[in-house]
Structure formats: C-alpha cells, structure tokens
Chains A and B, each alone.
Chain A
C-alpha cells in the first residue's frame, strides 16, 4: 500500500520567516495531495491541496509544490505568524478516496 514520509517532525521558526515541510510518497498512482493543519486539541482541517495535473498551487501565504517524477511534494508557508503554530499533516490518495497521512510536523512560530 501507499507509504507517506514527512520531514521534519518538528520545526521552529522566527515570526516572519518561511517554513517548509516535505513529504514523499511511494504509490505512483497517487494523484491527490492535501495538507491538513491541526491545532492543539482540535480536529485536522484542510488548508490546501494539489492534484497531479499541476506542479504548484498558492493561496495567500501558503503554497504547495509537487514533483511527480521524484514523488515528493512540499508545503511552503511565508511570513509566518504565531497562529501558524500547529501540527501539519501531508497526505496522498490514489483513484479512490482513501487518504494515507504522513506522521506530522509540529511547527512552532516564535516571537
């Protein structure tokens, strides 16, 4: 089955800096790659996603890039703010709706 690896497991940045989280996947049939944000004690919520027919997608301070050849995708957060502090999960899905999640990255934005 699909295997998703995520790095780093923890990331600490200064407010205003950029943060990058990277994931790799194993199933070449995967075609949907969402990112979820989970604040402490809350549910994971979708923040951005990308499908395999595009290489990059941007939404304000958040962007995701996809390299299908290398089977990796990344989340980029620019101008980080304290409210960006959370756990971020990448995931992948193939033809169906089954999502396989990475192990998560604890992002801390320091003042």
Chain B
C-alpha cells in the first residue's frame, strides 16, 4: 500500500479564493482524520470520520472550513473563502478500528497571500 496520499503537496492561493485539499486513506482503514499544524498551535485535530461519517468536527475553526468523505477512499477539506491566517500544513491521517496507530500523509503546505 502506498500509504495515505494527499494532494496537492503545496498550494499558494490568494486571500478570498476557495481551496480544496484531498486525501486518500490507506485501503481498509475506517478512521480518517484532518489535522492542521502551525508553529503556534502544534497539531490540531480539525475533524475525523468513522466509516465515512463525521464523528467530531469541534476542531473546525469556523464556517469557512468544511470536510466531506463521500466514500471510503476519498476525503476533502475545503476552505472558502481562504484567509492568510489559514496558512499552515494540513495533514490527513487514517487508522484501523481497534488499532489506534494513525498513519499520516505527507501533508499539504498551504500559503494564503
């Protein structure tokens, strides 16, 4: 398995634009997590899914952020409209029920100018 795959690796966008980050979890994993990493806040959990259903989205900073998981092999995190303070590295991770180790993707470095 190629592991958790995220795209794009880097994204530079202008303030106000819509940004969509994509994630393909490890095949067979039934948990998917979206994290945001910044120097100030470390690794923050934004939202996580179990069997494609959002379980906890309390970490989503505001209504500009939304996440979907239409099927077991794909998830998106969307920011609309984007702001400079959204600049961060966004990680997707997946894990298997009963095996708590989370496997991280390579991350998407987002820069909003």
Give the B-binding residues of A (Cβ under 8 A).
1, 32, 34, 42-46, 49, 89, 93, 96-104
Contacts and interface: CB of A to CB of B under 8 A. Distances in A.
Given A93-B100, A97-B48, A99-B45, 7 more contacts: A42-B106, A43-B91, A44-B104, A45-B104, A98-B55, A103-B41, A104-B42
Best-surrounded residue of A44, A97, A104 (most CB of chain B within 10 A): A97
Interface of B: 31, 33, 35, 41-43, 45, 48, 50, 55-56, 58, 91, 95, 97, 100-102, 104-107
B88 to A, nearest CB: 14
Nearest to B96: A97
- Closest 8 pairs between A and B when the two form their complex, measured CB to CB: A43-B104, A103-B42, A101-B43, A97-B31, A32-B100, A97-B95, A104-B42, A93-B100
B101 A43 contact: no
Contacts of B33: 98-99
